């Protein structure tokens, strides 16, 4: 299948699939990606009446479909309708929550190239309107997860824009972020951190 970004730039599905689904050593839940862990966590929150958080669907425009059999259709070409904002949004205790989730194999820093200008602008708008906005960062090879308030990410982004370093050091994330210990159910209990820092 061929996917294209707005403007026609090609999205390399095979490369991105391999990058996203690369095996991550994970002793409690071997092979799970950050997205899978967060989706399971959000399902747990909904089922237990804790919060209503969903992964935002990525809208696509289907251009070409093949019908090899009457009972099956295969999408051959599609375009992203618009640039995405952040990965997740919803409501917790009457407050709007919006966050992005990213992983890195690095053990010493988190590259800012993982974020895009339109995502940064979206986070600024959420903060300006009083929403709770943050990023969840996983150091995959270390199996460590942190919640970093978006206001800190914006400072690191501005530093990069002014010619500074193009990443956040792990020490900076440890200093300004909040470590999320991994569990079984929920897997990544980020609401516990949200409760402690926003309420």
Strand partners, 55: 88
**SS (HEC) of 92-122:** ECCEEEEEEEEEECCCCEEEHHHCCHHHHHH
Interatomic CA distance for residues 40 and 58, integer angstroms = 19
Per-residue confidence at 187, pLDDT binned at 50, 70, 90? Answer: very high
Strand partners, 180: 145
Structure tokens at 44: 């747990």
CATH code for residues 33-58+83-198? 3.40.1350.10
The domain segmentation of the chain, as residue ranges, is 33-58+83-198
Return binding residues. Answer: 85, 87, 100, 119
Residue 59 pLDDT? 61
Return binding residues for Mg(2+). Answer: 85, 87, 100, 119
Interatomic CA distance for residues 180 and 189, integer angstroms = 7
Q: For the whole model, what pTM was predicted? A: 0.76
Structure tokens at 169: 């050091």
Q: What digits encode the pLDDT tens for the residues 24-53?
A: 333 334 446 899 999 999 999 999 999 999
Q: What digits encode the pLDDT tens for the residues 130-151?
A: 999 999 999 999 999 999 999 9
């Amino acid at each position: 299948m061929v996917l294209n970004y707005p403007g026609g730039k090609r999205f390399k599905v095979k490369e991105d699939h391999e990058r996203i689904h690369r095996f991550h050593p994970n002793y409690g839940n071997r092979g799970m990606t950050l997205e899978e862990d967060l989706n399971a966590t959000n399902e747990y929150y909904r089922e237990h009446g804790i919060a209503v958080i969903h992964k935002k669907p990525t809208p696509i425009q289907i251009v070409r479909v093949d019908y090899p059999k009457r009972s099956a259709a295969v999408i051959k070409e599609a375009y992203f309708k618009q640039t995405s904002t952040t990965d997740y949004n919803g409501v917790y205790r009457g407050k709007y929550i919006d966050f992005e989730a990213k992983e890195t194999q690095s053990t010493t820093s988190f590259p800012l190239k993982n974020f895009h200008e339109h995502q940064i602008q979206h986070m600024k708008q959420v903060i300006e309107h009083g929403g709770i906005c943050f990023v969840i960062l996983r150091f995959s090879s270390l199996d460590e997860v942190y919640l970093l308030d978006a206001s800190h990410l914006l400072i690191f982004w501005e530093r990069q824009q002014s010619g500074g370093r193009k990443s956040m050091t792990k020490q900076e994330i440890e200093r300004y972020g909040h470590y999320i210990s991994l569990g079984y159910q929920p897997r990544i209990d980020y609401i516990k951190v949200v409760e402690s820092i926003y309420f």
